[in-house]
Chains A and B, each alone.
Chain A
């Protein structure tokens, strides 16, 4: 066998493997859409997305998922606000400031956090954080936006931290030396050279952390409280989209409008996560090619 035929075969094998995953993904998406379409014969897309009432089992039912979308967005946003500073700063600390000994301790701890099953976090939120919140702030329930956001941020921190750390680590030593040689301090070098050079990676990390939070099911199912209404305060309960799907799918008759509506929610969720990933990709590419010239 000549080398070129061998290379061709290897190439073909890889192509088939890559194509398989793409095809499977494509089939999942298609079935998602196929199952979702019937709901739009009952409710218009506008009513479905922006409708304020999610009463799928009433008679007549009402399929407005706006409260669920708001619930998802708000817990994602709040958890991002908590997770980004902690995740990014811990990445900077680990990659640039910590001595080797601390680094060896901190890195595994954060990785351990990433490996924590979400049901464990949900359980913690339920039996520890919820009663504490309820008592401290004198609330009707401790299962609310604050609780869910805190638990979700615990899930997003390791994602943000480890991807940011990779990005910081990849900043060439030469840039740092150039900065120090010009009389910059360590702090100035971090703020003006290292972080800007790693910014595309850090942005990607943030968005992937958000994607992680918005798609997370178990935690929000357990600690967000489950109220399908637009919240007035951060201590209100919400019902994020994944929680709705997970909670209701089991009791929904196959082929009913409610069943199709849950697929409709899944489609919305699919587009949201897709958007997050596209943005992450766009940022990563934009700065890669121009060498982040304007930063």
Chain B
């Protein structure tokens, strides 16, 4: 039996999670609900465990030897760390965009259809339509529509990142995890991606790690502030950026420490 729980309005619920890399405790007693169809930003100084938490949410940390999770993480009411749950199925529903663009050394087209093909989608017309749709969503279509057969590695860093977003969207996930998706991008691409996040929010739940305070303020509905592996404050973004409950949060946001 997979252990089940109901958390109203939230798609992911993290309950008292501790996370270890070997003996190093990277996350301490994290307790957090992620709202459905909302954008949640994770902020905090470097090394505080934001990426670790993000990777915990689609079981990517399983791939690192010697890691250990304590506590429970519910996805749509099911404990995703239950031994009966297949991480592969979780990752199909919870997509991820990495900090460093990582397209496959394949053509642009094949990058996008990689995931859908794994799920058995093989109709050429459907795939073509999907490629066009996701590339338009990630505002890359106009730049690459004539070079879909070209290697994705020849795109610029910003284009590669938007391709990676399109690739994640092609799986039509419920949740999209984004780890500093714009840290390698110019202001124009960044603006495009922020716009995209805003649009995606109607269909997807987005959890985004960012070091850019303005970005967190602009795109997110909720913000969690982390420090040294602990969730310090978790509130509505508006509140965090105007009247945070804690002095520590305010100091970080205004740049007085971190």
From 180 to 195 in chain A, residues with beta carbon under 8 angstroms from any chain B beta carbon are 180-185, 188, 192-193
In the complex, which residue of chain A has the Cβ closest to the Cβ of B106? A295
The minimal Cβ–Cβ distance linking B16 to chain A, given in whole angstroms, is 26
Stretch at the interface among A82-90, A171-179, A206-214, A220-228: A171-179
B53 at the interface (CB under 8 A from A): no
| Interface size of B as a range | 20 to 34
Are A181 and B60 in contact (CB-based, < 8 A)? yes
A292 at the interface (CB under 8 A from B): yes
Tell whether A185 pairs with B105 under 8 Å between CB atoms, given A174-B100, A180-B60, A291-B151: no
A294 at the interface (CB under 8 A from B): yes
Are B104 and A293 in contact (CB-based, < 8 A)? no
Are A183 and B91 in contact (CB-based, < 8 A)? yes
Task: List 6 additional A-B contacts (Cβ < 8 Å) besides A177-B63, A179-B114, A188-B118.
Answer: A174-B102, A178-B102, A180-B63, A291-B105, A291-B154, A294-B107
Are B115 and A293 in contact (CB-based, < 8 A)? no
Residues of chain B with a CB closer than 8 A to A197's CB: 104-105
Tell whether A182 pairs with B171 under 8 Å between CB atoms, given A192-B114, A291-B154: yes
In the complex, which residue of chain B has the Cβ closest to the Cβ of A292? B105
Task: Give Cα distance in the complex from A183 to B89, angstroms.
Answer: 6
The minimal Cβ–Cβ distance linking B179 to chain A, given in whole angstroms, is 11
A-B contact count (CB 8 A): 84
B103 at the interface (CB under 8 A from A): yes
B80 at the interface (CB under 8 A from A): no
From 132 to 150 in chain B, residues with beta carbon under 8 angstroms from any chain A beta carbon are 149-150
A136 at the interface (CB under 8 A from B): no
A290 at the interface (CB under 8 A from B): yes
Are B151 and A293 in contact (CB-based, < 8 A)? yes
Residues of chain A with a CB closer than 8 A to B89's CB: 183
Interface residues in chain B, defined as those with a beta carbon under 8 Å from any beta carbon in chain A? 58, 60, 63, 88-89, 91-93, 95-96, 98, 100, 102-107, 114-115, 118-119, 149-154, 164, 167-168, 171
Residues of chain B with a CB closer than 8 A to A231's CB: none
A196 at the interface (CB under 8 A from B): yes
Interface residues in chain A, defined as those with a beta carbon under 8 Å from any beta carbon in chain B? 172, 174-185, 188, 192-193, 196-197, 290-295
Task: Give Cα distance in the complex from A196 to B114, angstroms.
Answer: 13
Are A179 and B104 in contact (CB-based, < 8 A)? yes
Are B98 and A178 in contact (CB-based, < 8 A)? yes
Q: Closest 5 interchain pairs by CB? A: A293-B151, A183-B92, A174-B102, A291-B153, A182-B115
Of B105, B154, B168, which one neighbours A182 at CB under 8 angstroms? B168
Are A175 and B100 in contact (CB-based, < 8 A)? no
Are B58 and A181 in contact (CB-based, < 8 A)? yes
Are B96 and A184 in contact (CB-based, < 8 A)? no
Task: Give Cα distance in the complex from A155 to B117, angstroms.
Answer: 39
Residues of chain B with a CB closer than 8 A to A193's CB: 104
Task: Give Cα distance in the complex from A182 to B63, angstroms.
Answer: 14
Tell whether A180 pairs with B91 under 8 Å between CB atoms, given A174-B100, A291-B153, A291-B154: yes
Are B119 and A183 in contact (CB-based, < 8 A)? yes
Residues of chain A with a CB closer than 8 A to B100's CB: 174
The minimal Cβ–Cβ distance linking B117 to chain A, given in whole angstroms, is 8
Task: Give Cα distance in the complex from A231 to B233, angstroms.
Answer: 81
Task: Give Cα distance in the complex from A182 to B88, angstroms.
Answer: 8
Of A175, A181, A196, A295, which one neighbours B91 at CB under 8 angstroms? A181
Residues of chain A with a CB closer than 8 A to B164's CB: 178
Residues of chain A with a CB closer than 8 A to B106's CB: 196, 292-295
